[in-house]
Structure 1
């Protein structure tokens, strides 16, 4: 178990150090999220009530679109340099590659959230009526669901032509359950609803996360063999 965790950690560290050293994906993702925020605030002057209704959707959609920019690069270097063949020839299992890359993608997305999320409160003068702790939990588990399915599908499309355009087309239909649940739960926290009122949405997100945590153990080996 410890050796498997060490291999996952190795993949995680390799990807994370590479991305933060190059700063290409991180800078692009942060810039894209901030641009959406600024453009929306300049184009519209919604009332406070309207902001509470539409901002959860805006936050999640900006994170999803910026996250896709990072997901498209998940396997790019290995494919370009044919490193993936070498990695697969080592004792490391394909699902360990998946978990390591998913963890790296998650840290990058959370980094973007930490930078951009406070800006929404500044630009829109938000007064959070619910629990900040619950909001953080919802953002975390929603991000986990997005990254798990995104990293899996990025492997599926990485060796195809026009994979950057194809990934969102395949991703969004599968992402709808967790995206809608995350938006509803975030909106509930913004408006100060009680936990009982949005707990079903949180449970849906957790079930979704569990499904896409288990699925790669069953399918990722086959996916790598087909590639």
Structure 2
């Protein structure tokens, strides 16, 4: 009898020792862009958007932003400089090397300047040496942009000597009573959202009469909701700067 049971015992031990552990499931993974869980998301070029991951069993993560940028930082932000359509993907890996890939379609748009309106203005102030001396003057607007990390000299009036990215037509023989003055921007002028948030984009209103050229007004674009209100869902932005005797409205769309 012993000779019969011994082979059976050996076979049972061999079967048990060859039995493999069950393969764990691949990790689950999902992510949101600025708390948006949608499969298709629209964002603004150059703006930073926080990315959030939800994963079960994922131990390492790799992002591919679709623009050549790949990172293994779990907590990071999404920023794409050029408008267009991109596929943003997240690869989650577990401790045994199994992976799960999830993707979102991301449309990147840029703010496009469309119109500038001078709502109110005045420059007749007694004793002011920085304003035109006559009631009539030629007016124009300039937009300047300072590049990130570049130092620019500053004029005595507190304005940086930065490159001009747009100059309006010159409106001749204008008085304050001509306001509001509104004009469209004929060319496609793309505004930099990062420069707006960092206050590196500036609008300037100049006046010129027989006595010289004067800076009536200067104001930096700001990311503050108090003066800058942009909505991708409405496909519109509005900036309403005001300073002393001047008020403007600067509007545009996202493309």
Quickly name the TM-score band, shorter chain normalised: under 0.3
Q: Please report the TM-score for the alignment, with normalisation by the length of structure 2.
A: 0.22
Q: Which has the higher contact order (CA 8 A, sep 6+)?
A: 1
User: Larger Rg: 1 or 2?
Assistant: 2
Q: Which has the higher helix share?
A: 1
